[in-house]
């Protein structure tokens, strides 16, 4: 028995399913999850001392790789000064300034501890701002485990077969209208029927949570026009895409300005930190200025803020995006070549340094087409790669990520590993 296996059986006696977040349990790919012991650069080391080239990267935050020394030092320095104050600090002002410089639509920001919290709060503000109840989301998009958004939700909810979670009151689920991603006509029809009741449209501008899915030209622009016309808000959930595709949000790259934005993952530099923000008059509805209540003992936690700030400063200074995108393009080409050589039909979607290998032979542009992917085949690929020392996300319907710490030789090793792995699936 490996040490990870032993730890997993111990874990299952005390932690629900042995984990603290469902997709970590490897249920979709089989076997015991690897227990992580340490990470450095693009390497993750498990409890048995095996090292992996990591493309899961904690599901997105680690754009600069594991344990980047400057980030670790900044967090350690902050921790020595005090782990939490429950009082305002200068660093959180600096982080908000940094965010606004990078993403000008964030006229006012509120820091939270998780992306779920940021989304939940953004929806509350949107409903207050419009005095309307309905929210439009897209099937396969995942916005954290917010009650009313666990309707045809992607990520672990899809992977584990619970896209409509139990425990969500039917009345709340009815406040969510779910439409196919990339289908602007469906959005138009919905708005023409219910426009006056829709508070907001929430969308992952580039989807990461049904695997990577790209917006078709005109889709997001169309949503922007539609929401404006019907006086509903447009919320970009940039928890994954924020600072992933460029220094700023996907909104910078797309030239589309949403009313509200949610951020998480990269902005915390690997520590629990997220944010929501947007137009000043909307955000000023939040307490203490307005009637929308939202609070948190650890919101703006100084250790997380120090890590996030350092991460963003390094990204601003080094702008690693071109290198990241080139490495991803090379990796994707290598993976496609390896699959072709093994006669395994795959489609690879990628945006910047995020990508997904879908085991299917038709284009993936929404939830229905993503679900055509053969998740069992992905599981075999995942395990074969794991044996080769490469750690992909343990689920078909997730994004894989590269970091600035992945070197050309890591990409080459991954392609070689994939050649062997595809021949075994
Ligand atoms: N929501 C994350 C995937 N998109 C999973 C987080 C985790 O399990 O650590």
pLDDT at 142: 95
Concerning whether 237 is annotated as a catalytic residue, the answer is yes
79 CB neighbour count, 10 Å cutoff: 14
| CB 24 less than 6 A from any atom of ligand 1 | yes
Peptide bond into 288 cis (omega under 30): yes
Q: What is the Å distance from ligand 1's center to 21 Cα? A: 7
SS3 333: helix
Average pLDDT, the chain: 97
Structure tokens at 313: 């400063």
What digits encode the pLDDT tens for the residues 380-412? Answer: 999 999 999 999 999 999 999 999 999 999 999
What does the alpha-carbon distance between residue 164 and residue 147 come to, in Å, rounded to a whole number?
Answer: 10
Question: Closest ligand 1 atom, CA of 393?
Answer: 3
* Mean pLDDT score, 277-306: 98
Residue 299, CB-side half-sphere exposure with 13 Å CA sphere: 17
Put simply, whether the predicted model's pTM sits higher than 0.85 gets the answer yes
Q: Which one of 21, 143, 158, 160 would you pick to mutate in the ligand 1 pocket, going by the greatest count of ligand atoms within 8 A of its CB?
A: 21
Domain ranges of the chain: 3-63+320-422, 69-317
DSSP string, 76-134: HHHHHH-S--SS--HHHHHHHHHHHHH-TT-SEEEEESSHHHHHHHHHHHHHHHHT--E
| CB 265 less than 6 A from any atom of ligand 1 | no
* Mean pLDDT score, 284-301: 98
* Mean pLDDT score, 340-367: 98
Asked if residue 332 has pLDDT above 90, the reply is yes
What digits encode the pLDDT tens for the residues 195-212? Answer: 999 999 999 999 999 999
Among 1.20.1250.20, 3.40.640.10, 3.40.50.720, 1.10.260.40, what is the CATH number of 69-317? 3.40.640.10
Distances (CA, A) of 131 to 85, 134, 293, 412: 35, 10, 15, 54
Report the alpha-carbon angle 180-122-191, nearest 5: 40
pLDDT at 199: 98
DSSP class of residue 231 equals: T
* Mean pLDDT score, 97-126: 98
pLDDT at 270: 98
What digits encode the pLDDT tens for the residues 120-176? Answer: 999 999 999 999 999 999 999 999 998 888 888 888 777 777 778 888 888 888 899
Percent of the chain residues past pLDDT 70, beyond the cut: 100
* Residue keyed to tokens 């100084």: 302
Pairing state of beta strands 354-358 and 400-401?
antiparallel
Asked if residue 299 has pLDDT above 80, the reply is yes
| CB 329 less than 6 A from any atom of ligand 1 | no
Pick from 70, 40, 35: nearest CA to 57: 40
Report the alpha-carbon angle 299-397-404, nearest 5: 60
Residue 78, CB-side half-sphere exposure with 13 Å CA sphere: 25
Asked if residue 266 has pLDDT above 80, the reply is yes
Among 3.30.310.80, 1.10.10.60, 3.90.1150.10, 3.30.70.20, what is the CATH number of 3-63+320-422? 3.90.1150.10
Q: What is the Å distance from ligand 1's center to 59 Cα? A: 6
pLDDT at 164: 82
Q: Is 295 exposed, middle or buried (0-12, 13-18, 19+ CB in 10 A)?
A: exposed
What digits encode the pLDDT tens for the residues 217-250? Answer: 999 999 999 999 999 999 999 999 999 999 999 9
Structure tokens at 107: 């006229």
Nearest residue CA, atom 7 of ligand 1? 21
Structure tokens at 74: 């900044």
What does the alpha-carbon distance between residue 150 and residue 146 come to, in Å, rounded to a whole number?
Answer: 6
pLDDT at 168: 86
Question: Closest ligand 1 atom, CA of 115?
Answer: 1
Taking the mean position of all CA atoms in its chain, how far away is CA 159? 15
Concerning whether 372 is annotated as a catalytic residue, the answer is no
């Amino acid at each position: 028995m490996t040490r990870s296996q032993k730890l997993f059986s111990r874990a299952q006696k005390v932690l629900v399913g042995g984990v603290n977040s469902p997709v970590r349990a490897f249920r979709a790919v089989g076997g015991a999850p690897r227990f992580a012991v340490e990470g450095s650069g693009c390497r993750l080391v498990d409890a048995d001392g095996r090292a992996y080239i990591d493309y899961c990267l904690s599901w997105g935050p680690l754009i600069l790789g594991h344990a980047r020394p400057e980030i670790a030092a900044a967090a350690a320095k902050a921790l020595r000064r005090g782990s939490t104050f429950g009082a305002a600090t200068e660093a959180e002002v600096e982080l908000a300034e940094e965010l606004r410089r990078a993403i000008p639509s964030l006229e006012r920001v509120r820091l939270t501890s998780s992306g779920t919290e940021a989304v939940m709060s953004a929806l509350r503000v949107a409903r207050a701002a419009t005095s309307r109840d309905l929210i439009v989301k897209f099937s396969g998009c995942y916005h954290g485990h917010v009650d009313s958004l666990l309707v045809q939700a992607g990520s672990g909810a899809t992977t584990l077969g619970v896209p409509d979670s139990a425990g969500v009151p039917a009345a709340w689920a009815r406040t969510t209208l779910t439409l196919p991603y990339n289908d602007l006509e469906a959005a138009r029809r919905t708005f023409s029927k219910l426009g006056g009741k829709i508070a907001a449209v929430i969308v992952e501008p580039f989807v990461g949570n049904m695997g990577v899915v790209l917006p078709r030209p005109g889709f997001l622009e169309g949503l922007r026009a539609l929401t404006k016309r019907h006086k509903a808000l447009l919320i970009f959930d940039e928890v994954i895409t924020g600072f992933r595709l460029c220094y700023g949000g996907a909104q910078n790259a797309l030239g589309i300005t949403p009313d509200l934005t949610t951020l998480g993952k990269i902005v915390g530099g690997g520590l629990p930190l997220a944010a929501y923000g947007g137009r000043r008059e909307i955000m000023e509805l939040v307490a203490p200025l307005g009637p929308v209540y939202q609070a948190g003992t650890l919101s703006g936690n100084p250790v997380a803020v120090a890590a996030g700030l350092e991460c963003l400063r390094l990204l601003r200074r080094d702008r690693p995006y071109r290198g990241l995108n080139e490495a991803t393009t090379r990796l994707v080409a290598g993976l496609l070549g390896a699959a072709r050589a093994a006669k395994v039909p795959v489609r690879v979607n990628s945006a910047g340094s995020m990508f997904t290998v879908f085991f299917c032979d038709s284009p993936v542009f929404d939830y229905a087409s993503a679900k055509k992917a053969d998740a069992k085949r992905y599981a075999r690929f995942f395990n074969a790669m794991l044996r080769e020392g490469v750690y992909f996300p343990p689920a078909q319907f997730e994004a894989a990520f590269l970091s600035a710490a992945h070197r050309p030789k890591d990409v080459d090793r991954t392609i070689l590993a994939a050649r062997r792995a595809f021949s075994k699936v």
